[in-house]
């Protein structure tokens, strides 16, 4: 359990320094903000090919889609309970299927 000052420190960090997606996730989980706001923020990291990029995975700053960033996007969607029919999910799965080397 956080003290009031501890909670204020966490809120200050998320307000001032957190990655925009993680700030939105914080607001969803801790402040009850709409789930749709998280989906909208996550959509900014999805490319036209359905994969995720644009630095979604902080260690991979590519704008292009990558398998690693796409799996991070899918992990977030899974934790949020996104249905398998959600456009972010179907786009990511399509990207993975298109780029998988079946050889």
Q: What is the DSSP string of 20-47?
A: HHHHHHHHHHHH---HHHHHHHHHTTB-
CA-to-CA dists, residue 34 to 28, 46, 72, angstroms: 6, 20, 21
What average pLDDT does the segment 24-36 reach?
91
Instruction: Give the residue from 45, 61, 55 showing the smallest Cα distance to 95.
Output: 45
Backbone φ, ψ for residue 68 (5° rounding): -65, -50
Question: What is the pLDDT, as a whole number, of residue 16?
Answer: 83
pLDDT at 69 over 90: yes
Helix (H/G/I), strand (E/B), else coil: 96: helix
Q: What is the pLDDT of residue 75?
A: 98
Share above pLDDT 70 across residues of the chain, in percent, rounded to a whole number = 100
- With 80 as the cut, is the pLDDT of residue 1 above it? no
Tokens in use for 93? 């799965």
- Domains of the chain, by residue range, sit at 4-99
Query: Where residue 15 falls among pLDDT bands split at 50, 70, 90?
Result: confident
């Amino acid at each position: 359990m956080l003290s009031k000052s501890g909670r204020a420190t966490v809120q200050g960090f998320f307000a001032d320094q957190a990655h925009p997606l993680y700030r939105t996730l914080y607001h969803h989980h801790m402040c009850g903000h709409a789930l749709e706001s998280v989906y909208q923020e996550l959509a900014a990291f999805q490319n036209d090919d359905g994969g995720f990029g644009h630095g979604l995975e902080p260690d991979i700053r590519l704008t292009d889609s990558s398998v690693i960033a796409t799996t991070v996007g899918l992990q977030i969607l899974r934790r949020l309970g996104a249905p398998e029919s959600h456009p972010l999910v179907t786009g990511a799965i399509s990207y993975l299927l298109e780029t998988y080397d079946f050889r």
